Amino acid sequence: MSKKGKVVLAYSGGLDTSVAVVWLKEQGYDVITMTADVGQQAVDLEAAKSKALRTGAEKAYVLDLKKRFVEQFVWPSLKANGMYQSVYPLNSALSRPLIAEVLVEIAKKEGAVAIAHGCTGKGQDQVRIEVCSNALEPDLVVLAPVRDWRFSREAEMEYAQAHGIPVQATHASPYSIDDNIWGRSIECGILEDPWNEPPYDAYALTCEPEEAPDHPEHVEIQFENGIPVAIDGVHMDGPTLVARLNEQAGRHGVGRIDMVEDRLVGFKSREVYECPAAITLINAHRALETLTLDKKTLAAKKELEAKFGELTYEGYWFSPLKDAINAFIDETQQYVNGTVKVRLYKGMAVVRGMKSPKSVYSETLATYSDKDGFDHTAAVGFIKIWGLPIKTWRQVHETKEAVRIVAR
């Protein structure tokens, strides 16, 4: 078979991408793998590199992208309180534009004719990676071996076994795992039936809430311009801060999500997530915004947050609309400074206090004590003007109705 050139494959070492290396070689490509370290725990990165080379890859990149991921993708999402359908904090969705970006960078560096991924034809990751890569480099071909193959998961495992490719998934435990520093996604197997409760072995970052410590733990999270910078007064970089909160909140069973979500490709899917740090930080950040932003800005931002979540989920990270939403959100975040106290207890991350040097909360205006500084006399005129449209409407239409009754 004639050589077709180089292809850069997004490689996790899991079932889909492990079999993709062999398949691409069989199609005549020289395979270069790219394994992104975005803080995942499920994959031994050096072992993944070794397996890629043993399987037939010509070259294997393993890149530490944790800092880039947190600063350029996670923090913008946190500032937007980024969630899809108000539940899913976008952990997997956020990593896809970064993966696409790096695939394109390596393809240019290596002179590759194509990039490839291990996504199936039923998932949204295929859309995210391909839409993002097409936006960044329209002339680059994108290959999807698993989608074009149309193998079932069971058939993939049999193919891997026949070619001597070791994989974690087994017929007894066929979970598909995707994780990064922002959270962990679990699907397939027994989870495909929404009636089935997720088994204990599906979780790795969180304990069972009822088995969590009987005493709560309080953490104080400091924010600057909407970004968390310190825990309990200790400043740290983004990846360190998120990793620490994953451990602390996970120890208390915080961050478990079990939902049926509407997939981009047109059907519903049962998804299970673990996102201890994400849930804790979003709760804290959202609370601090209520202290530092005005009512109208909060209302407008809430609408744009939903659109941000949709665009990210749907692969439109590099779209002009998402850029415009980011610009609005960044403008608001200059005021989101302060410290939030969060109680971690039995699966819950509850805000128990907050303070800010830019707080627009006034105790003098809010108090009912003798320190009350609110001008009560202003209420009379305000009520008259505020209710004038309704009063006028009722007067006009009730008068007309009265005339009709008399006429009868």
Question: Could you confirm whether 12 is annotated as catalytic?
Answer: no
Question: Could you confirm whether 176 is annotated as catalytic?
Answer: yes
Measured distance CA(96)–CA(346) in Å, rounded: 32
Record the tokens describing residue 295, joined without a space.
Answer: 């009512």
Catalytic residue among 18, 68, 96, 179: 96
Question: Could you confirm whether 16 is annotated as catalytic?
Answer: yes
Contact 36, 63 (CB under 8 A): yes
Catalytic residue among 176, 179, 256, 356: 176
Catalytic residue among 18, 68, 95, 125: 125
3-state secondary structure at position 92: helix
Give the β-pairing of 114-116 and 5-10.
parallel
Contact 261, 268 (CB under 8 A): yes
Catalytic residue among 12, 16, 128, 256: 16
3-state secondary structure at position 113: coil
| Backbone angle region of 297, left / alpha / beta, with phi > 0 → left and psi within -120 to 50 → alpha | alpha
Question: Could you confirm whether 18 is annotated as catalytic?
Answer: no
Write out the H or E segment, with its range, that includes residue 273. strand 268-274
CA distances from 191 to 3, 151, 197, 203, 253 (A): 42, 20, 7, 12, 19
Measured distance CA(150)–CA(110) in Å, rounded: 29
Hey, which residues are catalytic here? 16, 96, 125, 176
